[in-house]
């Protein structure tokens, strides 16, 4: 496909339904990553990933071998409310691969992504956006779409980050919810920022798992995310002492890349295609932001709320932050 992102929504014509039943996430990812959905003018092609291996409610998807690492993302969707994910640099069959991310020593079950707070066919709305190398998925896990729209969704991601290391072949990440139990308040940690100097290598500090460290030595690593001016542990775009938008100094937006670090003061790169506002949730959900200083003319950013530490209630005044997603330019 392309490195220019495509947006998919549960409200699109022909979009797959997500719910708390086995196989529901596989059906969604089959459509978004590979097959596409819809007909005629409403048709949306898949992102350009491929299906490497498959079984009953289990898939191994591969990102681009041309522009990306060619890593596989194995998704075990045999449970009702959640799925278990793990990346591999190569696979010989559905259950065998190299560079397991997270490794079994880090996470015996893999990284849990939740689909719903109930084991039923109750609809859960979602938004996905990505490229042939990387994608984000936001899920209305708590079933709050009727009152909150997409603002109460929890975010996940997988694929190649934008690496600072020339020739990097192991910068594939799988985001982590912050815990290994369904229904816990440890959720949404893929977008929970920490200062560069604060990482204790614990579940509660981990945003994602990355294929290998910068050294290239085999073995997956924990990683965390940060942004400019982040001084506390909270969701991106949620720090209470950030300046008011618009900023008096430039009359507009202050923003930052979302840094990915593999240890204290050791940045690996950035989450592709997104920025963190240096304001507290400056825009209503899904606002299109344009004319941003420092970005190419014509760039549009999509404001997306992200929630951590609040499961069933979804949007929470204390725990919900915001990211800004570039929907115009190719992602690095």
DSSP, collapsed to helix, strand or coil, labels residue 145 as helix
The residue-averaged pLDDT of 219-229 equals: 97
What confidence category does residue 148 fall into, taking pLDDT thresholds of 50, 70 and 90?
Answer: very high
Cα–Cα distance for residue pair 86/41, rounded to 1 Å: 35
Q: What was the pLDDT predicted at 76?
A: 98
Q: What was the pLDDT predicted at 85?
A: 99
Cα–Cα distance for residue pair 176/189, rounded to 1 Å: 6
Cα–Cα distance for residue pair 275/311, rounded to 1 Å: 24
Burial class (CB in 10 A: 0-12, 13-18, 19+), 292: middle
What confidence category does residue 322 fall into, taking pLDDT thresholds of 50, 70 and 90?
Answer: very high
Percent of the chain with pLDDT over 70: 100
User: pLDDT tens across 104-124, in order?
Assistant: 999 999 999 999 999 999 999
User: pLDDT tens across 244-264, in order?
Assistant: 999 999 999 999 999 999 999
58-to-49, 75, 290, 291 alpha-carbon distances in Å: 16, 6, 40, 43
Exposure of 244 in the CB half-sphere (CA atoms within 13 A) = 1
Cα–Cα distance for residue pair 98/204, rounded to 1 Å: 26
User: pLDDT tens across 258-290, in order?
Assistant: 999 999 999 999 999 999 999 999 999 999 999
Burial class (CB in 10 A: 0-12, 13-18, 19+), 317: exposed
């Amino acid at each position: 496909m392309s490195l220019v992102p495509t947006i998919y929504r549960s409200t699109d014509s022909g979009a797959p339904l997500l719910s708390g039943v086995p196989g529901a996430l596989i059906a969604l990812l089959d459509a978004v990553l590979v097959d596409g959905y819809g007909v005629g003018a409403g048709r949306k092609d898949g992102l350009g990933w491929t299906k490497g291996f498959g079984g009953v409610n289990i898939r191994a998807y591969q990102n681009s071998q041309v522009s990306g690492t060619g890593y596989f993302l194995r998704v075990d969707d045999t449970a009702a409310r959640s799925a278990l994910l793990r990346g591999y640099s190569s696979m010989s069959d559905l259950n065998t691969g190299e560079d397991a991310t997270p490794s079994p020593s880090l996470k015996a079950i893999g990284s849990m992504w939740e689909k719903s707070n109930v084991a039923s066919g109750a609809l859960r709305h979602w938004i996905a956006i990505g490229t042939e190398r990387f994608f984000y998925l936001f899920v209305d896990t708590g079933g709050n779409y009727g009152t909150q729209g997409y603002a109460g969704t929890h975010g996940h991601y997988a694929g190649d980050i934008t690496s600072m290391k020339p020739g990097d072949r192991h910068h594939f990440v799988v985001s982590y919810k912050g815990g290994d139990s369904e229904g816990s308040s440890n959720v949404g940690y893929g977008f929970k920022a920490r200062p560069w100097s604060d990482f204790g290598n614990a579940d509660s500090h981990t945003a994602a798992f990355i294929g290998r460290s910068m050294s290239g030595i085999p073995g997956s690593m924990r990683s965390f995310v940060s942004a400019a001016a982040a001084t506390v542990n909270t969701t991106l775009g949620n720090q209470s002492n950030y300046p008011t938008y618009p900023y008096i100094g430039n009359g507009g937006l202050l923003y930052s890349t979302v840094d990915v670090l593999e240890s204290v003061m050791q940045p690996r790169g950035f989450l592709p295609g997104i920025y963190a506002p240096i304001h507290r949730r400056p825009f209503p959900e899904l606002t299109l932001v344009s004319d941003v200083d420092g970005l190419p003319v014509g760039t549009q950013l999509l404001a997306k709320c992200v929630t951590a530490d609040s499961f069933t209630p979804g949007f929470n005044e204390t725990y919900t932050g915001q990211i800004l997603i570039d929907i115009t330019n190719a992602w690095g």
